[in-house]
Each structure stands twice: as C-alpha cells, then as structure tokens.
Amino acid sequence: MEIPNVKRQFPKVSELAPLLKFTGPTLHRKERRLASALTIWDLREIAKKRTPQGPFDYTDGSAESEVTLERARQAFLDLEFRPNILKDVSTLDTSCEVLGKKFALPVGIAPTGFTRMMHTEGERAGARAAAKFGIPFTLSTLGTTTVEDVVAAAPDGTNWFQLYMWKDRDRSMELVRRAEAAGVDHLLLTVDVPVAGARLRDVRNGLTIPPRLTGKTLADAIPKPEWWINFLTTPGISFASMSNWNGTVAELLDFMFDPSMTFEDLKWIRTQWKGKLTVKGIQTLDDAKSAARAGADAILLSNHGGRQLDRAPVPLHLLVDVKRELKGDTEIHLDTGIMHGADILAAIALGADFTYIGRAYLYGLMAGGQLGVERALEILKVQISRNMKLLGVNSLEELEPRHVRILQTHQGLGRLPQ
C-alpha cells in the first residue's frame, strides 16, 4: 500500500488561534482610500473617480496628439538598471544638496497653475506636504493662492516661485518683488511659452477658470459630490497674481505670455533677481549652454509636461549630452514623465542634480487633498529607498551612468504599464 504524502487531522483550537488575526476597520474613509494606493497610477485612478472631467483632463492631458508625454514616460520604462550585488546597504541616505540647500529627497514639487481647481486645498496642501517631507514646493504665477499665503501655510518649508514673463513687464517684476519680500530666494523662469499649446481636451471640455455650472458639468457632478460641495462652499477660485478671467485657459495664456522674449530678457532678469535662478523649459543642448552663459544657476530640462510643443524632445534623452557638455557651476534639473521613484533614480544616475513632479503630485491632491499629496510623496520615498538598496548604493552620490542602460526599443506607445 502506498504511503500518502500528507497525514490529515482535525485542526486544534490552540493551533488556529494564532492564525485568526483580523485587521480592525479604518474608520476614516479618506485614509482607507489613500492607503489602498500603492503606486502613483493608483492615485490617478482614485483622482479620476473623484474629480470632474474638466479639471481632471486639464491635469492629465497634454498637447495635440499627447505623444510627447507618452514618449517621456516611455523613456523611463525603456531603461535597464545594472545593480551591484553584495553591497552593505544597511544604511541609506536619500538626501541631496540643490542650489546650496539640503533636501531629504532628490525631488521637488513643480509649479502647476489653477491648483485649487483640482482640489480646494490647492497650493497650501502641496506646500505643507512638501515641508513635511523635507522637499521644496514651487508656486506658479498662475497659482490660486498668493505667495504670501503659501509661505504662511508652510513657514518652515522651502517655498520657491515660478515666473511667466508677461507682456506687462512691470507687473511681472512686481510679482518677483512680492516673492522676494515673502522670503522666496529661488526663482524659476519658464521660457517655453511664447503661446499656449493646443490642449485639445480642454477645448473639447470647454474648460474655463473657474469651471462654469452648465448642464454637462452638473451631470458630471452627480458621482463627484465632494468636489462640487468644496467648490461651492469655499472661497471662489481666483488667480493669486491677477484679476479673474472670464475666458478659456488657452485665451488666458495667449493674453498673458510674451512671445517677444529673448535671451537678452533673460540676462535682464538675471540683473533684477539676486537670488538663485533656474531657467525652466530647456529642450536643446545649445539653449542649455546659452542659459548657463546668461547666468542661470540651474537649467531645468523640461518640455512642460508635454503641454506645449507636440513631439518635443524627451528631457531624459537630452540629459546625457547636456551633462557631458555643460561645465561650470550650473546645475541640471529635469522633469516630465516621472511616475515612479525609480524614474527619479535613473535621472540622477544619468547626470541630473534634481527632479520635479507635477502630475504625480496633482493625482495625489485630487485623490485626497494634503493627505493625498503626502501619500504620493510617501510612495515615491519608499520606491526611491527600496530601489537604491536593490541597486547596491547607500547614497545618491554613488549613482553613476553605469547603473543605467538605455534600451534601444521600437515598441508602440500604447497604454503604459502600471
């Protein structure tokens, strides 16, 4: 007779007891909802369910075919990490020094316009979350909270200001003086906006700032009551840097932005601003060199999140050449397409001194206000820490180009893996 592989018996109560451990319910629905998000993509799905289509699409979309954003995200996926094994990674340092200041992580929150449209807590939530995680927050010229109120909301944080040069130069510099008076010591000058990009989702949605109550928006509000309750019971969405606007987003941008701006204007701004200056929107090697010669302390390789020129260069692909050619004290920063902590590490390994997130932060904001932003930052922090250990490095300074290989792929740009 063949002897069975296992011998069965009735379970004993004493053996079952250690196995019967139940997790108590989380009473706070928002905390439970956010805790279920394990990736930035998860936060995006939550945000989509809780935010009206117009504000969500404004955040989620990019220009024309939207291929620029897809390519930027795909570029991070088309990388292969080259880890070192048998390294002592029992201690870990994720901090970095940027423009003379030390931060806990190599990522900051990028400037985003109309932020209170995404969630009523808006820029205050972003600034407070950034301060909590020891990283900088950047307020946009098109922000919906004043620079004074942002600084007051996070007085112990690092608060930066982003400038669009308007056709009205005096008003532009008035904003700069206000930022300086509020304690801001770092100015990001965005230079890739001679006109607004063709953001077709916004056109199709008929998006205005603030959103209008129409039959379509009211129908869209039914499954998203919290957003509308917040919208209707909190101070109206207005611009921190200008009077209200009664047109579309594209009309506003075309009205404001100065298409005549040149490198001579950049040099002039450098003489007006005594703090640190980053030029945001660099997309070629030659322009990176010119911005450095004009006095930029840092250049930000960025195609505006794919929201301006369709089929624009991918910042990650530009990084290696800029790092090789750019000499001196000019730092190299990078944004666009970052959805994972590993994306940040890859950029640092290939030569970036710092990175920024825009959509990744806004998905968290839409998913749950400040707690959602904190969840987004916690996800990225965990991913950065885990992948540094898996790569066999103890600090960001140990990351080198040898840790990353750019794969030569010719795959389509369908839905990106999550």
Q: For tokens 């840097």, name the residue.
A: 241
Whether the Cβ atoms of residue 99 and residue 186 lie closer than 8 Å to each other: yes
Q: What is the Cα–Cα distance from 151 to 239, expressed in whole angstroms?
A: 16
Q: From CA 378, how far away is CA 220, in angstroms rounded?
A: 31
Query: At a CB cut-off of 8 Å and minimum separation 6, what does 363 contact?
Result: 40, 43, 44, 46, 47, 59, 372, 376
φ, ψ of residue 282 in degrees (nearest 5): -75, 130
The DSSP secondary-structure symbol of 247 reads: S
Q: How many whole angstroms separate alpha carbon 316 and alpha carbon 62? A: 18
Angle between helices 53-60 and 359-391 (to 10 degrees): 40
Q: Quick check: 103 and 379 in contact, CB under 8 A?
A: no
Nearest CA to 342 among 60, 79, 41?
79
Strand segments, DSSP code E, in 142-287 are 158-164, 186-190, 276-282
Burial environment of residue 244 by CB neighbours within 10 A (0 to 12, 13 to 18, 19 or more) = exposed
Distance (Å, rounded) from C-alpha 337 to C-alpha 328?
27
Q: Which residues pair with 273 in a beta bridge?
A: none
Counts for the chain of helices (H) and strands (E), in that order: 18, 12
Q: Spot the catalytic one: 119, 304, 340, 403.
A: 304
Task: Kindly state the greatest CA–CA separation across the chain.
Answer: 97
Give the three-class secondary structure for 102: strand
Query: Which one-letter amino acid corresponds to residue 286?
Result: D
- The beta strands (E) that lie in 146-266 are given as 158-164, 186-190
Has 304 been annotated as catalytic?
yes
Which has the closest alpha carbon to 109: 298, 361, 347? 361
Is 133:225 a contact under the CB 8 Å cutoff?
no
Q: Which helix (H) or strand (E) holds 334?
A: strand 331-334
Integer-rounded Cα Rg, in Å, for the chain is 23
Q: Which residues are catalytic?
A: 304
